Amino acid sequence: MSGGTDGRPLILLVEDNQTIRQAFTVLLEDSGYRVLAAGSGKKALALSRNASPDLILMDLGLPDARGLDLVRSLKQKESTVGIPVVAITGRALETDEEACLEAGCAGYLTKPVNTRQLLALIPTYLEG
């Protein structure tokens, strides 16, 4: 597994809403994960390639990119193809689960995210 130097999995949190980003960062850190956060698609791609996270939580509604295009881009690169991506979207009607899975996502959650459900699911994605 990449990323970890101290055994704690590294999660890349991609979310442009600062309030949600900060709340989820605290939630994940309190749950024993290391967290890198990105508020844009550009930063998300850079961190994905440079930091080798163990899991990416990807808000699909970003100001500078289409979320699913980001996922496809990650899945086309050998260095990032193996990182599981969980899509998080508030637009369930526009971006359905099937489209997320076809783009290469490992999972799909709709906003508002049930944090208990999220924390229960994360280990299953980390196990691959």
Which of 59, 67, 86, 100 binds Mn ion (CB under 5 A)? It is 59
Applying the rule CB under 5 A, the residues between 70 and 109 that interact with Mn ion are none
User: Cβ closer to Mn ion: 87 or 106?
Assistant: 87
CB 85 within 8 A of CB 91: no
Nearest to 94 by CA among 74, 67, 121: 67
CA angle 78, 8, 36 (to 5 degrees): 60
Q: How many helices (H) and strands (E) does the chain have?
A: 5, 5
Which of 8, 27, 49, 61 binds Mn ion (CB under 5 A)? It is 61
Contact flag: residue 40 with Mn ion (CB under 5 A): no
Least distance (Å) between residue 5 CB and Mn ion? 30
- Which range in 16-24, 39-47, 70-78, 99-107 contacts Mn ion by CB under 5 A? 16-24
Least distance (Å) between residue 90 CB and Mn ion? 7
Contacts of 12 (CB under 8 A, 6+ apart): 35, 36, 37, 38, 44, 47, 48, 51, 53, 55, 56, 57
Least distance (Å) between residue 88 CB and Mn ion? 8
Give me the residues that bind Mn ion (CB under 5 A), please.
16, 59, 61
